[in-house]
């Protein structure tokens, strides 16, 4: 597949209008994840089940723009994570590796207060990085990544990645990330998932 060209793309793709607060991009592909779509993500299963029964809130949405699927093309997505908690953990994304493992991604914080949890696929080494206005987080290839809203207002951000990156949710669906971010008396802290007290 050859890459998109100036001639092949509509004006609306060349210049996309987005609304960071609403999480919308004209003409984009929208995905919504409610709490019930996040089975196995949160450590406190009783709190998770209770919150699913009590309204099953929207946790996050992503609107993605995919101008082409050729070598060299880029895709990007506008994510909004709503504020909320399940037990001591904050609302967060499912998290994934890229199917094409070499693919890196750049996350650009737009509004709100967030954290990105990165995990090296080979070593399991984990890092927590601030994501908010004025922050660009570089996610290297071979790195699992999950985004977390640690504030009281919606967190919005843009992620830009190679068109052929793909999303691989398999590993984290079966064993989750090694670490998680918990609210420790008002401060977000990264701890080993096996150390979490509910
Ligand atoms: O492509 C990306 O990395 C982002 O746009 C994510 O898809 C977004 O943050 C939602 O996360 P996830 O795909 O893990 O549900
Ligand atoms: Mn990604």
Q: Note the pLDDT tens digit of each residue in 13-42.
A: 999 999 999 999 999 999 999 999 999 999
Instruction: Determine if ligand 1 sits within 6 Å of the CB of residue 143.
Output: no
Q: Which ligand is nearest to the CA of 28?
A: 1
**Nearest-angstrom CA–CA distance, 102 and 146:** 17
At residue 48, φ and ψ (nearest 5 deg) are -65, -50
Residues 70 and 139 sit within 8 Å (Cβ to Cβ): no
The Å distance, Cα 93 to ligand 1 centre, comes to: 7
Res 94 pLDDT > 80? yes
Structure confidence at residue 196 (pLDDT): 84
The pTM of the full predicted model, rounded to 2 decimals, is 0.97
Q: Work out the average pLDDT over 66-93.
A: 97
Strand partners, 191: 180
In this prediction, residue 184 has a pLDDT band, given cuts at 50, 70 and 90, of very high
Average pLDDT, the chain: 97
The Å distance, Cα 54 to ligand 2 centre, comes to: 30
At residue 134, φ and ψ (nearest 5 deg) are 85, 0
Indicate the SS3 state at residue 38: coil
Percent of the chain with pLDDT over 90: 96
Structure confidence at residue 103 (pLDDT): 98
Question: For a pocket test of ligand 1, which of 40, 76, 93 has the largest count of ligand atoms closer than 8 A to its C-beta?
Answer: 93
Closest CA to 180 of 110, 84, 93: 93
């Amino acid at each position: 597949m050859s890459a998109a060209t100036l001639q092949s793309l509509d004006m609306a793709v060349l210049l996309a209008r987005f609304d960071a607060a609403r999480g919308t991009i004209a003409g984009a592909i929208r995905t919504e994840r409610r709490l019930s779509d996040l089975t196995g993500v949160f450590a406190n299963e009783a709190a998770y089940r209770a919150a699913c029964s009590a309204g099953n809130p929207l946790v996050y949405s992503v609107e993605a723009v995919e101008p082409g699927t050729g070598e060299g093309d880029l895709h990007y997505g506008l994510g909004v994570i709503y504020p909320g908690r399940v037990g001591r953990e904050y609302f967060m994304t499912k998290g994934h590796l890229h199917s094409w493992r070499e693919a890196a991604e750049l996350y650009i914080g737009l509004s709100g207060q967030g954290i990105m949890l990165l995990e090296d696929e080979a070593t399991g080494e984990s890092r927590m990085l601030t994501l908010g206005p004025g922050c660009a987080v570089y996610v290297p290839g071979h790195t699992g990544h999950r985004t977390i809203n640690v504030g009281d207002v919606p967190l919005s951000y843009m992620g830009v990645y190679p068109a052929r990156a793909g999303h691989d949710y398999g590993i984290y669906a079966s064993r989750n990330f090694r670490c998680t971010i918990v609210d420790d008396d008002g401060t977000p802290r990264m701890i080993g998932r096996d150390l979490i007290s509910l």
